[in-house]
Amino acid sequence: MLNNRPRHILSSDQFDREFLDYLYQLVNLIRRYDKSKEGLLYLKSLLPHVRAMLYFTQPSTRTFMSFHSACNILGVSTSEIRDSATSSEKKGESIEDSLRTFSSYVDLIVMRSTEAGLCERIAALLDNTPRPVPIINAGSGPDEHPTQALLDIYTLRRSFHGNQIDGKRICMVGDLKRGRTVRSLSKLLANYRDVAITFASPEAFRIEQDLRDCLTRRGVAFTETEDFEGAIRDADAIYMTRIQDEWDTGRESAAVDHSGFCLHLEHMRRIKPDCVIMHPLPRRDEIDPLIDSDPRAKYWRQERNGMWVRVALIMILMGVDHQVMLPDKSVATS
Ligand code: NCD
């Protein structure tokens, strides 16, 4: 059983190895229920009394659908805001008042916004109200995307031979400056022994100093390079990302040539035969779609894993995880 049960999911900094190992086991158990109608009906019976608000004021396809589906799997009913222009924020209401309002109607708020630190602020605000509800950060500006990082860790572990992340070389590629998934995942990787990270990007998109400081403080070996081909050659996993040009102040991304940081079919002969290729998606030109059919391409699986990881996280927040940690033999088949 979990010793430190989180009240909210706000940042990768919250999670330790014990939690990551527990989540891995829990997701694997939950997935066994997906194998039968009885199993799925059991999952659906766990939280039919719970209502969740999906507050996504920044574009989202898979994270939104993934949370929506995770709620569905658990019987949680959902309401949603996908644009602040359709809420009273348009009438000048503060975001704090809007979210406090939502919290009056629901038991869980999943939120994505352009503002770094907003989830923490709202969680602290709601914790001081008579009706505190858990907050899940589904992406906060260029800062953090902890649930993506948790599903990335799950996918890495599940994809590596021996299901171990310790000792692996992970290469992260693309816009490492503004990509929140890279930030959150790097921090989670610090929980594993002897992991080495190579950050490969154009000079303009190198990681931020605070991430460098965090990795140094936590004793994680990392290097930064502009040599993409050299970086991917001996990697156990390659984590590709797109250029995050929505954060441009002018059109500065267009001035950076990132064509040397794209994975093409010819690279597949030069990387490890069991390398794990991941991408948080959406992709543009960073991965040639012809690579999709290579067994090393795990990004579509990663997407589906995300839904099960979010099912597990909602179960933990709502305190029903023990109901599958002790699986009912009549419904759980593997
Ligand atoms: C990522 C995000 O929104 O940060 N996508 C996702 O949530 N799966 C990555 C991106 O948009 O590039």
Rounded to 5°, the CA angle 23-241-153 comes to 15
Model confidence at 334: pLDDT above 60: no
- Residues 223-234: pLDDT tens digits? 999 999 999 999
pLDDT the model gives residue 97? 95
Q: Are residues 169 and 239 in the same domain?
A: yes
pLDDT the model gives residue 297? 98
Q: Are residues 294 and 316 in the same domain?
A: no
- Does 247 map to a domain? yes
Residue 163, phi then psi, degrees to nearest 5: 50, 40
Q: Are residues 281 and 189 in the same domain?
A: yes
Amino acid at 55: Y
- Residues 1-21: pLDDT tens digits? 788 899 999 999 999 999 999
Q: Are residues 185 and 297 in the same domain?
A: yes
Residue 171, phi then psi, degrees to nearest 5: -110, 125
Q: Which of 148, 240, 242 to mutate for ligand 1's pocket (most ligand atoms within 8 Å of CB)?
A: 148
In short, whether 242's Cβ falls inside 6 Å of ligand 1 is yes
Amino acid at 282: P
Q: Which of 69, 181, 303 to mutate for ligand 1's pocket (most ligand atoms within 8 Å of CB)?
A: 181
In short, whether 206's Cβ falls inside 6 Å of ligand 1 is no
Closest approach atom of ligand 1 to CA 179: 4
Q: Are residues 282 and 312 in the same domain?
A: no
Average pLDDT over every residue of 43-59 = 97
- Does 210 map to a domain? yes
Q: Are residues 111 and 170 in the same domain?
A: no
pLDDT the model gives residue 114? 94
- Does 104 map to a domain? yes
State in Å: Cα 126 to ligand 1 middle.
Answer: 27
- Does 6 map to a domain? no
State in Å: Cα 325 to ligand 1 middle.
Answer: 30
Q: Are residues 187 and 109 in the same domain?
A: no
Q: Are residues 176 and 62 in the same domain?
A: no
pLDDT the model gives residue 326? 64
- Does 223 map to a domain? yes
Q: Are residues 189 and 317 in the same domain?
A: no
Average pLDDT over every residue of 35-45 = 98
Model confidence at 146: pLDDT above 60: yes
**Average pLDDT, rounded, for the chain:** 95
- Does 3 map to a domain? no
CA 161 remoteness from chain centre: 22
pLDDT the model gives residue 330? 47
In short, whether 235's Cβ falls inside 6 Å of ligand 1 is no
Residues in the chain, total: 334
Task: List Cα–Cα distances, 285 to 61, 142, 263, in angstroms.
Answer: 18, 21, 8
Q: Are residues 196 and 166 in the same domain?
A: yes
- Does 169 map to a domain? yes
In short, whether 142's Cβ falls inside 6 Å of ligand 1 is no
Lowest mean pLDDT among 87-101, 118-132, 166-180: 87-101
- Does 224 map to a domain? yes
CA gap 14, 145 in Å, rounded: 12
Structural domain boundaries, residue 227 = 146-302
Number of structural domains the chain divides into: 2
In short, whether 283's Cβ falls inside 6 Å of ligand 1 is no
Average pLDDT over every residue of 120-128 = 97
Residue whose Cα lies nearest atom 8 of ligand 1: it is: 280
Q: Are residues 74 and 105 in the same domain?
A: yes
Average pLDDT over every residue of 71-96 = 91
Model confidence at 331: pLDDT above 90: no
Q: What is the CATH number of the domain that holds 234?
A: 3.40.50.1370
- Residues 88-100: pLDDT tens digits? 888 899 999 999 9
Q: Are residues 282 and 317 in the same domain?
A: no
Model confidence at 332: pLDDT above 80: no
Percent of the chain with pLDDT over 70: 97
Average pLDDT over every residue of 249-257 = 95
